[in-house]
Amino acid sequence: MAPLRFILRTGAGVFGLSAIALIVVPGFFLSLLGLEDGLALTWTMVMIGVTLVALTGNMAVVSLTASDRGVMLASVVMAFAAAGLGIITLLIPVPYTWFTIAYASVGFVFSLAYMIGLLRVGLPR
């Protein structure tokens, strides 16, 4: 179970960095994604950042304190969420940027890591 706990903590760190960027410099984050900086979209990014703070905390708490079953179930959820993040990032209706590809790749790598970890310990019942 230690690998899944490590993946959850590492994911929490990555989401934490994203949350900080979305809250502190949302316009810069938008430009990296190839999106235009506007008031509505900037506030949306800040709100997503605040939501990611909650997700970051929950991922860290689960990795440190949850039962093995809780870690496995959280890992299933995060495998789908990380893949979804990768897909949604690639579907942004603007031309790809280096950051879009990198950010989507991070989501796909985490999804794969969760899936491999789950296959090694067995899927939760």
Task: Read off the pLDDT of residues 11-66 as tens digits, 9 standing for 90 and up.
Answer: 999 999 999 999 999 999 999 999 988 999 999 999 999 999 999 999 999 999 99
106 pLDDT more than 90 = yes
Indicate whether this model's pTM tops 0.95: no
Residue 97 · residue 33 · CB < 8 Å: yes
The pLDDT confidence band at residue 124, using thresholds 50, 70 and 90, is low
Could you count the other beta carbons within 10 Å of the beta carbon of residue 83? Answer: 17
Per-residue pLDDT at 100 exceeds 90: yes
pLDDT at 1: 79
CA trace torsion 34, 40, 45, 49 (10° rounding): 170
